[in-house]
């Protein structure tokens, strides 16, 4: 099975998490591609047996044009210590979802990066990502996951391995979902 990891990243944290998730997936899948949101074409999505989508949490939710601009402006301030990811230019996940066609119940998962703290306080972009995946008829195989950054917007050290482990769990969950779909199809086919 082929897996596609689509990410939106402003300061590189979500990009790093996407790469670590892909490392975990590669322990099971031969073909795993990691692409920024602007490169996630309809053909790539359609050819994937598993689609994993992630982005940063901005103002308690998925980024917007305004929040993305504010993030770039913050990085440009002298002494900010922030660096804009090379793939941050262009559209975000909201625009991508607006362009995306529906799929036929392909397995999927959602993740985000957010500031360390209770999700009730920080928000979680992964909830909105998951909702939009379901609207496009993807079948979520795991609950959305968050990976945390500190207040200086640096990914916490343990999150690298946690993202790899989530990728491993995601691979297993997608295989179980595929096996269940095949079993259901065989059962329904036998009754017709």
Per-residue pLDDT tens over the stretch 40-88: 999 999 999 999 999 999 988 999 999 999 999 999 999 999 999 998 8
- 3-state SS string over 29-80? CCEEEEEEHHHCCHHHHHCCCEEEEEEEEECEEECCHHHHHHHHHHHHCCCC
Residue 186 has pLDDT above 80, yes or no: no
Integer-rounded Cα Rg, in Å, for the chain is 17
Rounded to whole angstroms, the Cα distance separating 15 from 5 reads 10
Per-residue pLDDT tens over the stretch 13-35: 999 999 999 999 999 999 999 99
Domains of the chain with bracketed CATH: 2-191 (3.40.50.360)
Tokens at 189, concatenated: 């086919």
pTM of the model: 0.91
CB 8 within 8 A of CB 38: no
> What pLDDT band is residue 183 in, cutting at 50, 70 and 90?
low
């Amino acid at each position: 099975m082929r897996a596609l990891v689509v990410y939106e990243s402003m300061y590189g944290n979500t990009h790093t998490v996407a790469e670590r998730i892909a490392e975990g997936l590669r322990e099971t899948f031969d073909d795993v591609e990691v692409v920024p949101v602007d490169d996630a074409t309809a053909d790539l999505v359609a050819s994937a047996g598993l689609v994993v989508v992630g982005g940063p949490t901005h103002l308690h939710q998925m980024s917007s044009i305004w929040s993305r601009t504010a993030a770039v402006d913050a990085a440009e301030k002298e002494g900010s210590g922030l660096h804009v990811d090379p793939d941050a230019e262009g559209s975000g996940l909201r625009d991508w979802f607006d362009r995306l066609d529906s799929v036929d119940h392909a397995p999927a998962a959602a993740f985000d990066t957010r500031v360390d703290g209770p999700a009730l306080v920080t928000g979680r972009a992964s909830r909105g990502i998951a909702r939009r995946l379901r609207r496009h008829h993807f079948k979520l195989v795991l609950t959305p996951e968050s990976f945390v950054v500190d207040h200086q917007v640096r990914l916490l050290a343990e999150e690298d391995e946690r993202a790899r482990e989530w990728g491993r769990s995601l691979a297993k969950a997608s295989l179980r979902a595929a096996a269940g779909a095949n079993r259901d199809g065989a059962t329904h086919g036998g009754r017709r």
